[in-house]
Homo-oligomer: A and B are copies of this chain.
Amino acid sequence: MTEERQRSRDRGTPIRPAPELTDRQRTVLRAVVEDYVLTAVPVGSKSLLGRYALGVSPATVRSAMAELEFLGLLSHPHTSAGRVPSDLGYRLYVESLMREAELDQTDRLTIRHQFSQVELTNNEWLRLAASILAGSTRSAAVVTPARSRRARFGHAQLVSLADGTRLLVVVLLDGNVVQRRLDRAALQRAIPDSALDQSELDGIAAALNAELAGLSAPQVRRRAEKLPALAALISTVVMSLLEEADSVVVEEVFTDGIVNVLEQPEFARGGKLRPILEILQRSDFLEQLVPVLTRSGGVHVIIGRENTNDAMHEISLIFAPYGAPDRALGLLGVLGPTRMRYPRAIPTVRYLSTLMDELINSQYGETQ
């Protein structure tokens, strides 16, 4: 082994980020990835030939594997073990080796059929989407509700709950509902000099609706300056509701199929499991995904150490945004070991994101 090769192997980093491969190398890499994804066992030259008729001898495969390892696409758990794809190997596979089919007709119909069970409420759609994703990819699935990226005031209402207490309900333009309870003291602060009977409250709500409809938080703030009668209410309550809605990027998360991940041999052993569960519980990795996904749209694949988050170095994400551009945006995708069935997961995520697009758009009406 030359010194250069030695160095490259020690660092485990590729010499060239996007190497040009011979046909044979591509064939071998593809076979190794697919075999390893299937079996979770490091792939040896001989056993590979047992499953793939490559038309060459084990020795030839071995030399191809050695080259692929030199290029940083495969790696070696230990000297006398088979090869395992590196993150870069998976990356190359996903980019140019994978025979990615669209989801076949029966899968699409099955999924669409489940969605066509009408009368599902909003949340149930999301639950269903997560459940389908998880089942179809055998990974953990995550779906977030579609949210407007800038909350805009829609319609307000003041409702009496019990003696002295009122509820301010604001429907945002994206259809989300936010609310705040106001006890007597808070009401006095927000609406001074008022008897606070229902007819008066209705008048106040009507005034809010007339003045604020369609406005975002900064616009509301400016408008409030010209409305002395409503200024206190707006600054203490309405603004905070809107700002809260703006600040929350990922508010609620629907997860399914966590068990699928735990059953993978790479996570069956104790220690590795904990960080993943924490990630799924906290799910703040989603916030980091938002800018990436909104910038370009479509399905994004993040493999292993491509994740900035240390705890996710052995995890791949396949995520896509969905929703109506500039109106409401949600995230959906799957999460599993880097040893993932990409050719299955990617089309599934893509199909589900278009399906959710349709749902959102049909909700907002077919306007353009």
Which residues of A does B touch, CB under 8 Å? 119, 121, 154-155, 157, 159-165, 167, 169, 171, 173, 175, 177, 179-181, 183-184, 240, 244, 255-256, 258-259, 262-263, 268, 270, 273-274, 277-278, 281, 362-365, 367
Q: How far is the CA of A281 from the CA of B257 in the complex (A)?
A: 9
Q: Are A181 and B244 in contact (CB under 8 A)?
A: no
Q: Which residue of B lies closest to A258 (CB)?
A: B277
A155 touches B159 (CB 8 A): yes
Q: How far is B158's CA from A154's CA once the two chains are assembled, in angstroms? A: 11
Main secondary structure of the interface of A (DSSP, over half): mixed
Task: Compute how far the CA of A181 lies from the CA of B359 in the bound complex, rounded to whole angstroms.
Answer: 12
In the complex, what residues of B have CB within 8 A of residue A262's CB? 273-274, 277
Shortest CB distance A279–B (Å): 11
Q: Which of B159, B180, B270 contacts A154 (CB 8 A)?
A: B159
Q: How far is the CA of A179 from the CA of B362 in the complex (A)?
A: 17
Would you list 17 pairs from A and B whose C-beta atoms are within 8 A, ordered by A residue? A121-B244, A154-B159, A154-B161, A161-B175, A162-B364, A163-B365, A163-B367, A164-B365, A165-B365, A169-B169, A177-B179, A183-B365, A256-B281, A258-B277, A258-B281, A259-B277, A259-B278
